[in-house]
Structure 1
Amino acid sequence: MNKKYILRALGFSLALGLFSCEDKLNELRPEQDLTEESAFNSEATAMSSLYGVYSTTQNFEIFGGLGHVIGDFQADNVQFVGSFPTLQEIQNFNTVGANLTIQNLWQVHYRAITRANNVIAKAPTVEDPGFTEAEKAQVVAEAKFLRALLYFQMSNFFSQPFQLSGGDNLSVPLVLEPFTGEITFPERATLNQVHAQIEKDLTEAIPALKTASQFGDPSEARGRATVGAAKALLARLKLYRENWSQAEQYAREVLADNSYSLASDYSFYNANTSEDVFTIQNSAIDNGRTGSGGLASYYRPAASGGRGDAAYSSGLLESYEAGDKRLSSLSSEGVGADGGTYIFTTKYPDAVNNADNAPIIRTTEVVLTLAEAIVRQATTVAGAQEAIDLINPLRVRAGLATYTAADFTSTADLLATVLEERRKELAFEGLRRMDLLRNKMPLKTSGEGASKAVFGGDLTILPIPQRELDINPSLVPNPGY
Structure 2
Amino acid sequence: MKKYIVYIFMGAAMASCSDFLNLQPEYQINENSFYKSPKDFETALVGNYAGLQGLHNTSLINLGDLTTDNTDIRSTSPTTSEAECDEMNPTAANDFLNTIWSTCFATIARSNNILSRLDAVTMSDAQKNQYKGESLFLRAYSYFYLVRLFGNVPMVDVAFRSPDEIMKFDMTRKPVSEVYSLIIKDLTEASTLLNGVTGLSKSQASVGAAKTLLGKVYLTTKQFDLARAVLKEVIDSKTYSLNPDYKKLFTNGNDELQESIFEIKYMSGNVGEGNSFSTVFMPSRFDVGMFPGNMQGAGRILPTRQMANGYEPGDLRRKASIGDSVKLITGKYEKELYGLKFVDFTTGIVGDGGINFTSIRYADVLLMYAESLNETNNTAEAHTYINMVRSRAGLAPLAGLSKAEFALAMEKERKVEFFLEGHRWFDLARTGRTLTVLNKYFQDNGLRFTVAEHEVIMPIPLREIDINPKLGQNPGY
TM-score, normalisation: structure 2: 0.82
Q: Aligned with 1:452: secondary structure?
A: coil
Q: Aligned with 2:171: secondary structure?
A: coil
Note if contact 1:63-1:288 (Cα within 8 Å) is conserved in structure 2: no
Task: Choose from 13, 17, 25 the match for 1:14.
Answer: 17
Unmatched tracts of structure 1, length 5 or more? 1-10, 17-27, 160-170
| Equivalent residue number for residue 392 of structure 1 | 387
| Equivalent residue number for residue 366 of structure 2 | 367
RMSD: 2.7
TM superposition shift of 1:210: 4.8
Q: 1:372 to 1:431 in 2, by over 3 A?
A: same
TM superposition shift of 1:190: 1.1
Q: 1:329 to 1:99 in 2, by over 3 A?
A: closer
Q: Aligned with 1:135: secondary structure?
A: helix
Q: 1:30 to 1:294 in 2, by over 3 A?
A: farther
Q: Distance in 2 between matches of 1:172 and 1:286?
A: 35
| Equivalent residue number for residue 155 of structure 1 | 147
Q: 1:389 to 1:94 in 2, by over 3 A?
A: closer
| Equivalent residue number for residue 355 of structure 2 | 356
Q: Distance in 2 between matches of 1:44 and 1:431?
A: 35
| Equivalent residue number for residue 5 of structure 1 | none
Q: Distance in 1 between matches of 2:88 and 2:61?
A: 17
Q: Distance in 2 between matches of 1:362 and 1:256?
A: 15
Q: 1:105 to 1:415 in 2, by over 3 A?
A: closer
Q: Distance in 2 between matches of 1:329 and 1:71?
A: 20
Q: How many residues align?
A: 426
| Equivalent residue number for residue 298 of structure 2 | 307
Q: Distance in 1 between matches of 2:157 and 2:82?
A: 30
Q: 1:40 to 1:449 in 2, by over 3 A?
A: farther
TM superposition shift of 1:334: 5.2
Farther-moved stretch of structure 1 (277-286 vs 323-332): 277-286
| Equivalent residue number for residue 188 of structure 2 | 203
Q: Distance in 1 between matches of 2:310 and 2:157?
A: 42
Task: Choose from 441, 444, 457 the match for 2:438.
Answer: 444
Note if contact 2:343-2:355 (Cα within 8 Å) is conserved in structure 1: yes
Q: Distance in 2 between matches of 1:125 and 1:155?
A: 32
Task: Choose from 128, 137, 150 the match for 1:145.
Answer: 137
| Equivalent residue number for residue 240 of structure 1 | 220
Farther-moved stretch of structure 1 (183-192 vs 42-51): 183-192
Identity of aligned residues (%): 29
| Equivalent residue number for residue 258 of structure 2 | 274
Q: Distance in 2 between matches of 1:95 and 1:289?
A: 29
| Equivalent residue number for residue 162 of structure 1 | none
TM superposition shift of 1:232: 0.1
Farther-moved stretch of structure 1 (63-72 vs 252-261): 63-72
Q: Deviations over 1:34-71 (max 9, x none)?
A: 72332201111121111111111112xx1222113311
- Does 2:153 align with 1:172? yes
TM superposition shift of 1:227: 0.4
What one-letter code is carried by the residue in structure 2 that aligns with 1:246?
L
Write the mapping of 1:22-421 to structure 2, written as runs, cut at 5 A.
28-29=20-21, 35-59=30-54, 62-82=55-75, 83-127=78-122, 131-159=123-151, 171-182=152-163, 183-184=166-167, 186-210=171-195, 214-215=198-199, 220-266=200-246, 267-269=248-250, 270-285=254-269, 294-301=276-283, 303=288, 304=291, 305=295, 306-333=297-324, 342-350=336-344, 352=349, 353-378=352-377, 383-405=378-400, 408=401, 410-421=402-413
TM superposition shift of 1:357: 1.0
Q: Deviations over 1:83-140 (max 9, x none)?
A: 111121232233332333422332222112111110111122124xxx2122112101
Q: Aligned with 1:248: secondary structure?
A: helix
Q: Distance in 2 between matches of 1:429 and 1:54?
A: 19
Q: 1:66 to 1:295 in 2, by over 3 A?
A: farther
Farther-moved stretch of structure 1 (440-449 vs 112-121): 440-449
Unmatched tracts of structure 2, length 5 or more? 1-13, 328-333
Farther-moved stretch of structure 1 (246-255 vs 264-273): 264-273
| Equivalent residue number for residue 330 of structure 2 | none
Q: Distance in 1 between matches of 2:421 and 2:148?
A: 14
Q: 1:235 to 1:98 in 2, by over 3 A?
A: same
Farther-moved stretch of structure 1 (359-368 vs 304-313): 304-313
Note if contact 1:444-1:450 (Cα within 8 Å) is conserved in structure 2: no
TM superposition shift of 1:324: 1.1
Q: Distance in 2 between matches of 1:308 and 1:92?
A: 16
Q: 1:288 to 1:361 in 2, by over 3 A?
A: farther
Q: Distance in 2 between matches of 1:228 and 1:307?
A: 36
Higher helix share: 2
What one-letter code is carried by the residue in structure 1 that aligns with 2:146?
M
What one-letter code is carried by the residue in structure 2 that aligns with 1:199?
I
Q: Distance in 1 between matches of 2:271 and 2:153?
A: 27
Farther-moved stretch of structure 1 (393-402 vs 40-49): 393-402
TM-score, normalisation: structure 1: 0.82
TM superposition shift of 1:325: 0.9
Q: Distance in 1 between matches of 2:272 and 2:413?
A: 29
Q: 1:331 to 1:98 in 2, by over 3 A?
A: closer
